[in-house]
Amino acid sequence: MSYPVTNGAHHIGLTVSMLEESANFFTALLGWKEVKRNEEYPVIYVSDGSIMLTLWAVKQEPSILFNRHKILVCTMLLLMSAIRMT
């Protein structure tokens, strides 16, 4: 098969330990827009106009330590996917 089976992602959810900082990464660094937030949940929704990303605050310490290299790879794959769609 020479073409993807799917047509990209519309909505992705991530659980993060630093909610405000994570939202700031997408809005300040990547130029995404904050769509909505719910302080009681707590959750922040951000979007680049095509993909909606839900950032949920983790309620306890993660059992797996943060690995910035894995996050970097995921972010680059997301950006490459967005570039291909334009």
Q: Where are the domains of the chain?
A: 11-85
> pLDDT grade, residue 13 (50/70/90)?
very high
Neighbouring C-beta atoms of residue 27, cutoff 10 Å: 15
- Burial class of 76 by CB neighbour count within 10 A (0 to 12, 13 to 18, 19+): exposed
CATH superfamily name and code, 11-85: 2,3-Dihydroxybiphenyl 1,2-Dioxygenase, domain 1 (3.10.180.10)
- Asked if 47 and 53 count as a contact pair (C-beta separation under 8 A), the reply is yes
CA distance 29 to 81: 18
Average the pLDDT over 22-51 and give the result: 94
> pLDDT grade, residue 8 (50/70/90)?
confident
- CA 45 to each of CA 57, 63, 73, 83: distance values in angstroms, whole numbers, following the listed order: 12, 24, 21, 21
> Which tokens hold the place of 85?
């769609």
pTM summary value: 0.64
| pLDDT over 90, % of the chain | 44
